[in-house]
Amino acid sequence: MRKVIFAESTPNAVGPYSDAVRVGNLLVCGGQGPLDPITSEVYRGEFEEEVRITMNNLKRSVEEGGSSMSQLVKVNVYITDINNFDRFNQVYAEFFPDPTNVPTRVLCQVAGLWGGINVEVEALAYVAD
């Protein structure tokens, strides 16, 4: 079974892609960034708030796909300045209160991201039936 998910609670896509695709018990979530979920406007401000908005958008996408943040298997993070690594981790940890149940993760610096955003996050999640 393959189901394409266009989440109503996340910002509108800026291209031809969906928020997530569910195949069996695997949920593949596309990249989320610091966009307002109602207006789709890019947030311009403190890096920590960019991360928080991004992670909340990911959380909504994961939940609309039938999973939860506690069921994430892998997270890929793209930031434009590796010097923000510790600042990213501080906010990221808020979304995983149980330090014994955290997903695997890759975080890398990239030359740039769409719209001048400073962070983008994508994930794989398990969907329990």
Predicted pLDDT of residue 61 = 96
Compute the CA torsion angle 68, 74, 80, 86 (nearest 10 deg).
80
Confidence of residue 1 (pLDDT cuts 50, 70, 90): confident
Task: For 43-84, write each residue's pLDDT tens digit.
Answer: 999 999 999 999 999 999 999 999 999 999 999 999 999 999
- Whole-prediction pTM: 0.95
Q: Which of 51, 21, 56 is nearest to 38 (CA)?
A: 56
